[in-house]
Structures are given as C-alpha cells and as structure tokens.
Structure 1
Amino acid sequence: MPRMFLNGTAMAGGADHHLVGGAALVTATTTAKRYRFHAVDGAYPALEDVGPDQGAAVQGEVYELSYEQLREVLLPGEPAGLELGVIELADGSGSLAMILRRPWDGGPAPTDISDLASWRAYREQQP
C-alpha cells in the first residue's frame, strides 16, 4: 500500500481527518531538512523542496492508504494549489505527499512558516 505523509488538516484531530477513513497510521515523523513550509492564504499548508539541508524538518503523520482511498477520497479533497509528489522523510525513506504546485499561480504568495515546521503550531498562533 502507498504511504502518504500528511501535514495539515487531514492529520489526526484535524477537520479533514475523515478523508483518511480507517487508514492505518504508520508513524508520526518529520520530513528531511529539505523543505520550506508555507501557509497558503492561511487555509492549508504546502511543502516546497529547496534541497538537502536547506529547509526545515516539517512535522506530520504517515498513513498507509489504498490507491482507491487516495484516488476517490483524499486527492479530490486537496486544494488546487497543491500537487501530488514524493518527499524524503527524516529516516531517508520516501513517501507520497501534497507539495506546492510549481510554478505558483494560485494567487497571493504563500507565507513561509518554516520556523514553526508544524501546521498545528501555526494554527494555534492564528486569532
């Protein structure tokens, strides 16, 4: 089964966690330190690969999802500013994840929240 790294509202306790259905949580982990982490219009997070040791270790959760769950439920619920990609996790393994669509054409520039490296921490700071 494919592994999917989630770092936003589909994580456990998030508003969109229902989109993972009964998928098994493999681990809570971070990405390798090669991603800038952005908030897009304050509504959803986005990873941007900037190269080895050039970014932050972003917090998230890895789930095993069936291709059907990915195709029919999770991916159709993702914002247009994201696209499916493959990322590197802290342990060097790979995982599917939603990444910032390039070139960016989704409106205002995303806000860099790499210093927080956590969507939950970012949301807790919002009024």
Structure 2
Amino acid sequence: MPRMFLNGTAMAGGAEHHLVGGAPLVAATTTAPRYRFHAVGGRYPALEDVGSGGAAVEGEVYELSYAQLREVLLPGEPDGLELGVVELADGSGSLAMVLRRECAGLPQLTDISALASWRAYREAS
C-alpha cells in the first residue's frame, strides 16, 4: 500500500481528516529540511522542494489504498498542488501533495517555513 505524507487539513483533527477514512497512521514525522512551506491564500499548505536551505515540515504518514487515493483523497486536493514524492526525516520517501512548479511565484503564497507546521500557522492566524 502506498504511504502518503499529509501536512495540512487532512491530518488528525483537521477539517478534511475524514478523507483519510480508516487508513492507519504510520508515523508522525517531519520532512527532510529541504522544503519551503507556504500558506496558499491562507487556506491550505504547500510544500516547495528547494534542495538546501529549507525547513523540516511536520506531518503525518498514512498507509492508503490506491483506490482511496484515486477516488477520495486526490479529488479533494486544491488547485496549485500535484502529487509528488517527498523525502522524510529518516531519508525514506513518501507520496505527498506538493506545490506545482509553475505556481511557485504566485502572490498569494505566504512563506511559513519558520513555523514548519500547518497547525502552528492556524493557531497563529
């Protein structure tokens, strides 16, 4: 089964967590420190791979079926994000929603890398 790193509203306690269904939580972890973390219009988070000089972003890894990914989780994702692979803190990889490259310069992006947590950003907003 594929593993999916979630770092926004689909995490436990988030408004979209129901999209995860009964999928098991594999780990609460962070990414490797190679990502800029953005709030898109204040509505949802986006990871941008910058290689070096990024932040280790907090999230949760779930084991989802391909059917659940295809039919439930991915259709609920907002524009500006695409399915990609991120590097986790332990060096392993995971599927994740990442910022589309052509969206990296959009004015509605707010860099929240210093917080490195969607929950912390929401609490501070």
Which runs of 5 or more residues in structure 2 are unaligned? none
| Root mean square deviation of aligned Cα | 1.3
Report the TM-score when normalising by structure 2: 0.97
Residue type at the aligned position of 2:92: S
The aligned counterpart of 2:35 is 35
Provide the rounded CA distance (Å) in 2 between the counterparts of 1:49 and 1:115.
Answer: 15
Aligned partner of 2:4 in structure 1 is: 4
Alignment of 1:87-126 (within 5 A): 87-104=86-103, 108-126=107-125
Q: Distance in 2 between matches of 1:107 and 1:32?
A: 24
Tell me, what secondary structure is at the counterpart of 2:103?
coil
SS at match of 2:113: coil
Structure 1 runs not aligned, ≥5 long = none
Give the total of aligned pairs: 125
Contact 1:2 1:64 in 2 (8 A): yes
Counterpart-to-counterpart distance in 1, 2:33 and 2:104: 25
SS at match of 1:98: strand
Q: Deviations over 1:6-29 (max 9, x none)?
A: 000000000000000000000000
Give the TM-score of the pair, scaled to structure 1: 0.95
Indicate yes or no: 2:84 matched with 1:79.
no
Identical pairs, percent: 82
Aligned residue in 2 for 1:51: 51
* Offset of residue 105 of structure 1: 7.7
Given that 2:26 and 2:60 are in contact with CA atoms closer than 8 Å, whether structure 1 keeps it comes out as yes
| Rounded Cα–Cα distance in structure 2 between residues aligned with 1:49 and 1:72 | 26
